[in-house]
């Protein structure tokens, strides 16, 4: 039986690694992207080479109408959604709060928080037992920044991930009786292109010695945690967090 999983923001980084790892464990994957169709299609090709079904769908998941269209296309192509990995996000150039514009703050919160709520809402509607669904799993990609605060770099990003932590706990309690589990992973210093977006491509190498493990993490290591939370091996786990942060 097919178990379709939507991975938002999965044309690169943690999203792409999670999509490929989940496909290797037998899931069919909807690869969501906002701009880079070429990268998304490469992820689709890799998933298909594993022998799983995949489809790339362009959508800005912070926009309600686009989320609705995304889920409708998924319904038509895959059938009932089994899993959602909320991963799409944005991070801007490092700066102090006193320098941040309202436009920047609102963009970060809309992209990193509203998108998770909208996708979770549509997934819950389809998964809930009371609505005729068969249950399912939601995994939110948070960040160690939610605990650390990212002072002097991107407190706005850290705050958005703090909101995701609260969402994870509250939503898990709301839908536990509907056969839906909701958990999160908190990546730390992971080698991804997002640090370049923040203006410091070498950030992980600069900070890795501050970690107990003295190294940065890989997207595959985060994907492994995502895959465990999606799997039946975590069937009694909800409202929980896995730290993938090298001990910090």
User: Which residues are catalytically annotated?
Assistant: 157
Residue 100: Cβ-neighbour burial (10 angstroms; 0-12, 13-18, 19+): middle
Q: Which of 69, 58, 116, 82 minimizes the C-alpha distance to 6?
A: 82
Closest by CA to 84, choosing from 152, 139, 39, 37, is 139
CB neighbourhood size of 173 (10 A)? 12
**What is the torsional sign of CA 171, 174, 178, 179?**
positive
The DSSP call for residue 110 is: I
């Amino acid at each position: 039986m097919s178990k379709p999983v939507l991975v938002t923001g999965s044309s690169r980084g943690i999203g792409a690694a999670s999509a490929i790892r989940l496909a290797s464990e037998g899931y069919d994957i909807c690869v969501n992207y906002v701009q880079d169709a070429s990268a998304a299609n490469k992820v689709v090709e890799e998933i298909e080479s594993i022998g799983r079904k995949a489809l790339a769908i362009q959508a800005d998941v912070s926009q309600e109408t686009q989320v609705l269209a995304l889920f409708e296309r998924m319904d038509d192509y895959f059938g009932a959604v089994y899993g959602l990995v909320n991963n799409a996000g944005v991070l801007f150039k490092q700066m102090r709060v006193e320098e941040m514009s309202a436009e920047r703050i609102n963009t970060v919160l809309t992209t990193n928080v509203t998108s998770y709520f909208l996708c979770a809402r549509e997934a819950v509607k389809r998964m809930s037992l009371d609505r005729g669904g068969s249950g399912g799993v939601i995994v939110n990609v948070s960040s160690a920044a939610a605990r650390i605060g990212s002072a002097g770099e991107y407190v706005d990003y850290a705050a958005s991930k703090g909101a995701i932590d609260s969402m994870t706990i509250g939503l898990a309690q709301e839908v536990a009786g509907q056969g839906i589990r909701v958990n999160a992973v908190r990546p730390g210093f992971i080698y991804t292109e997002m640090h370049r977006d923040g203006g410091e491509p070498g950030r992980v190498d600069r900070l890795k010695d501050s970690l107990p493990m003295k190294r940065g993490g890989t997207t595959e290591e985060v994907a492994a945690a995502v895959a465990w939370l999606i799997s039946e091996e975590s069937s009694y786990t909800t409202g929980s967090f896995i730290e993938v942060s090298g001990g910090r």
